[in-house]
Amino acid sequence: MVVYPPGTLFVGQRFQTKEQVQDAINKFHIVNHCTYKVKHSNTTRLLVECVHHDCAWRCRAILRTREQHWEIMILKGPHTCVSSLISQDHNKLGSQMISQTIHEIIEANPSTPISTIIAHIKLTMSYTISYKKRWLAKQHAIENIFGNWEELYNKLPGMLQAMQMYVPGFIWKFNTQPAYQDGLLDEGNVIFKRLFWTFKSCIDGFSFCKSIVKVDGTFLYGKYKGTLLVAVAQDSRNNINPIAFVVAEGETSHAWKVHIPCLHVLASCLHAHHNHQTFGELRHEDYWPTYIGPTMWPNPELKRTSKGRPKSSKIRIEMDLREQHNRVKNCPYCHTSGHTRKTCPNTSHGFSSRHH
């Protein structure tokens, strides 16, 4: 199939799937700052029309069963409707579409800040999207590039075996628990519980440090909860030397009972005094040894139930509260008071940027 520029729509245009038809119609309306509604949709036919009754724009696409492709058969237009104010957002501009736009940016730098995504969408599409859309779009882009959380958990045992092969002196160990489905033991799967690893250089460097080990940690803010703990020591010059790390369910009493085996924990060897030549190179995934063992699952009990970006769990006190000002809040679209963004009468067709 031919790849058409965004915003292109004409009679006879062909697509491989129905999703591609819908994507082309969405991009057409995003470029032209208008919107539509679905009149009829099934597995063989798609009919859409303008949301305004006095506008004659409509589009009809069908599935040609013999050629097994979708084709636009009817396209009446252009749009004759005019909105009083162009909305800052578009109800057809979803997080999945935005993730396709920022794919190359996230692939080059997965830690790209949200502000960069805002500027990119405003420059390329002339829209200011909501924070929720930006955050979800970045998560979709990361998942499309690196895989979802469940796939990455399953790759973990194979990656550890590969590091043990290519990195001399690499030590690792992880704890799992049995997996159950419908109350029955699933022997082919296990649930991730804890992971420990370290490098030989970290262990060797510990012999030149003071005989005091400090353990600190930070929370994991991904899809699944957890805590990253690090064991460190200081040398004679008071430089911090990482010894080992552990990824566990948290600083719980049960985790301390297993004494956090420091010789088998996740190690971060970014210390400036380590010679990088002492570390082996982890080759591409195609050269990893074949992993033979049960499928690794993330712990469902640690899955975050709330959607959206992580929120602070700090317990607020009186000093954290700000004085309440009797200031009138204005609508972020038209900058007038008396209504909210969702009920703004000046937005394009009354749609809210909360749609994603």
How many domains would you assign to the chain? 2
Range of the structural domain that residue 206 is part of: 149-302
Is residue 66 domain-shared with residue 165, that is, in the same domain? no
Which residues are CB-neighbours of 24 under 8 A, at least 6 positions away? 4, 8, 9, 13, 15
Structural domain ending residue among the three candidates 25, 50, 82: 82
Based on the domain organization, do 72 and 160 belong to the same domain?
no
In a domain, 236, yes or no: yes
Residue 236: count of CB within 10 angstroms of its CB: 8
Q: Is 159 among the domain residues?
A: yes
Specify if 100 maps to a domain. no
DSSP 143-171: HHHH--HHHHHHHHHHHHHHHHHHSTT-E
Whether 121 is covered by a domain: the verdict is no
* Helix segments in 175-289, DSSP class H: 200-206, 253-257
- Please report the pLDDT score of residue 225 as a whole number: 85
Query: Does residue 56 sit in the same domain as residue 156?
Result: no
Give pLDDT, residue 84: 46
Question: Based on the domain organization, do 154 and 288 belong to the same domain?
Answer: yes
Residue 224 lies in a domain: yes
Lookup: tokens for 196: 């420990």
181 and 292 housed in the same domain:
yes
Q: In this predicted structure, what is the pLDDT of residue 70?
A: 92
For residue 70, tell me if it sits in a domain. yes
For the chain (length 356 residues), average pLDDT per consecutive 10?
Answer: 75 90 89 88 92 89 90 88 64 88 90 88 85 88 87 87 88 88 86 88 86 83 84 87 85 55 38 47 67 75 67 65 65 80 68 44
Q: Which residues contact 141 (CB under 8 A, 6 or more apart)?
A: 99, 100, 102, 103, 105, 106, 107
Instruction: Check residue 207 and give its pLDDT.
Output: 84
Clarify whether residues 164 and 268 are in a common domain: yes
R_g over Cα of the chain:
27
What pTM does this model have? 0.58
Domain finish residue from 268, 286, 302: 302
Please list the residues that pair with 64 across neighbouring strands: 69
273 half-sphere exposure, CB direction, 13 A CA radius: 14
- Through-space distance between the first and last CA atoms of the chain, rounded to whole angstroms: 28
Angle at 139 between CA 133 and CA 143, to 5 degrees: 140
Q: Is the domain of 73 the same as that of 174?
A: no
What's the confidence (pLDDT) of residue 343?
A: 82
> Residue 353 has which token pair?
């940027």
Same domain? For 153 and 262 the reply is: yes
Q: Does residue 181 belong to any structural domain of this protein?
A: yes
Domain end position, chosen among 62, 82, 102: 82
Tokens of 262: 């420091």
Indicate whether 17 belongs to any domain: yes
349: left (phi over 0), alpha (psi -120 to 50) or beta: left
Q: Are residues 62 and 156 in the same domain?
A: no
Which uninterrupted H or E stretch holds 330?
none
Give the model's pLDDT for residue 251.
Answer: 64
